[in-house]
Amino acid sequence: MWECGGIFILHEEVDYMLTPKQNMLEVIKGGNPDRFVNQYEAVQLLFHPFMFANPLLQPGQENVVNAWGVTNTFPKGVPGSFPVHTPDKIVVKDIEDWKDSLEERYGVKNFNFNDILGTHVNRQESRKIAAIHCEENEKGEIARLQIIFVCYVEISDKNGYRDSCAYIPVDIDFLQRKMVLKAWNRQGVIEQYRADTLTDGVKSIMCNLFGVITTDYKINHKKVLYSMSKGLVDNVYNKIPAFNQIDLMQKCVDDFEQSILERLPIVHIDENEDGKKKIPQGVMEFSDEIKKAIERLVVSDYFFDRSYDEIWNMGIEAIIARIKFNDSENILASLSSQDSEKPIFCSKTFMYLKKSMEDAKLVEKLWVVKKRSRGKINIRYDATNEEYLGILIKFGVRYAEEDLDVAMEIYKEYESEISRKIAIGNKRQVS
C-alpha cells in the first residue's frame, strides 16, 4: 500500500507474468489473463515446404493450378486468394473413390502401370506418376502399393539453369503400416528442389489423394537412436579385455572414495548406516566419476597405437562416426571423427560427454559406418523431424537396395528393444 497526498493506492506484488501462450489460453477459456493479447505474440507461423514451390497468389492472379492440382484464384478487389470449387476444377470429387481421381489427375487407369520413359514434367505440371505396382493378399485387399513420382527440378551449372526431373519412389506396406519415400540429392539442384522438399511434397500428395495418415513419433525415434548409439559403443567396449574387469574393482573405488573423503575437509558430507562417509545426492556422483575415469584409461590405452582399420579386426560390424544430441541442460553437442584417424568412441571428448548422453537418453542424429563385402558404407539416421525417420546414405557411395534394407534392419533391432522395454514397464505399472 502506497500513501500519496492523502490518497491510498493499493499495489499488489506479482510474482510472475503469464507467458504469451498461457495468457492467450486464459482469454480463450474465459479465465484471468493479465494483459491484452498482442496479435501473433502467442503463436509461431510455420510454412510448409510446399509453399516455396507454390507461393501465395498475388492480387490479379486467377485460376492458377498448384502442384496438388488445386486451382486457386485471387481476383482484384477481394481480401485474399481462395480455391475454385466449380465441378470442372475439383480434384477429388469423392473422397471414398480416389481411384477415379487418380485416373483423372494423373492418367493412371489401373494399379499396374508403367510409363517411366514416356512421362515428362515441366514447371506447370511439376508432379506426375510414372509407374504403379500393386500387390494383393488372398482376400483381394491391397497389401503393398509402390508408386514412382516424377518431379520437376531445376539444375544449376556453368551454363546457368536448366530443366530436369527427379524420381521419388514410394513404397507403402499395409501389413507393417509403413510408408517409405526415397530420394537422391542431385548435384547442382537448386535449394527449393532438394530431396527433402520433394519428399515432403510427395508425402502431401499421398496424404491428400490417397488418404494416408501419418502419426507423430515425437521423441520415440530419438530414444531408438540413443539405444543404437549405446549398443554399438558397448559392442566395442565389451571386446576390450580390461574393460570387463572394471566392475570387479568396485571395492577399490569405494576404498579410494573413503580415503579422499576422510582426508579432505569437505563441507557437505553424510554418513550411511555403516558409518562410512558419502557425498549427498546433488553434489557429485564421486564413485561414478572414478569409474568413468577408469573407463577412459582402459579405452585410451587399448586404442593408443591402433589404426582406424584395425578396429574392424575386433569382430564388429558397425561403428559410430558422429553423434548429435542435447544434454539435460539443453546444450547441443555434436561430435565427429570423420577427419580423425580414430573413431568417435576413442576420443576423450566423447568419453567425457558419455555421461551427459546417458542422462539425456535422446539422440537427434547418428552417423554409422557399416562394414560390407564391397567396402564400408556411411549411414546417417536423422530423428529431428517428429513425423518420420530420415535415413541418408553418403553421396558418391555405390549402394544397392540391400544396403538400405540393412540400414533399416539395424534400426528395427533397437526399435524392437525399446518396444520391449516399454511393454515391460507398462506391465509392471499395471501389476
Q: What is the pLDDT of residues 217-247, one digit of tens each?
A: 788 899 999 999 888 888 888 888 998 898 8
Cα end-to-end distance, the chain, whole Å: 56
Q: What is the pLDDT of residues 140-185, one digit of tens each?
A: 888 898 999 999 999 988 888 889 999 999 999 988 888 999 988 8
Of the candidates 254, 317, 308, the one whose C-alpha atom is nearest the C-alpha of residue 286 is 254
Q: Is the pLDDT of residue 322 over 90?
A: no
Q: CA-to-CA distance for 424 and 3, rounded, in angstroms? A: 65
Average pLDDT of the chain is 79
The share of the chain scoring above pLDDT 70, in percent, equals: 80
Q: Which residues contact 395 (CB under 8 A, 6 or more apart)?
A: 185, 187
Query: Which comes out higher in pLDDT, residue 285 or 69?
Result: 285
The answer to whether 344 and 321 are in contact (CB under 8 A) is yes
* Dihedral pair phi/psi, residue 367, rounded to 5°: -105, 125
Instruction: Look at 26-35, 328-337, 385-394 and tell me which has the smallest mean pLDDT.
Output: 328-337
Grid cell digits, residue 299: 579405452
Grid cell digits, residue 140: 483381394
Q: CA-to-CA distance for 109 and 98, rounded, in angstroms? A: 12
Query: Which comes out higher in pLDDT, residue 188 or 309?
Result: 188
Query: Which comes out higher in pLDDT, residue 360 or 383?
Result: 383
Average pLDDT rounded to a whole number, residues 291-308: 85
Give the burial class of 310: count Cβ atoms within 10 A of its Cβ; 0-12 exposed, 13-18 middle, 19 or more buried.
exposed
Strands 365-370 and 332-336: unpaired
Grid cell digits, residue 32: 484471468
Exposure of 271 in the CB half-sphere (CA atoms within 13 A):
5
Q: Is the pLDDT of residue 346 over 90?
A: no
Q: CA-to-CA distance for 400 and 374, rounded, in angstroms? A: 11
Q: CA-to-CA distance for 188 and 156, rounded, in angstroms? A: 5
What pLDDT, on a 0 to 100 scale, did the predictor assign at position 406?
85
Q: CA-to-CA distance for 236 and 423, rounded, in angstroms? A: 28
Of the candidates 385, 354, 43, 20, the one whose C-alpha atom is nearest the C-alpha of residue 200 is 385
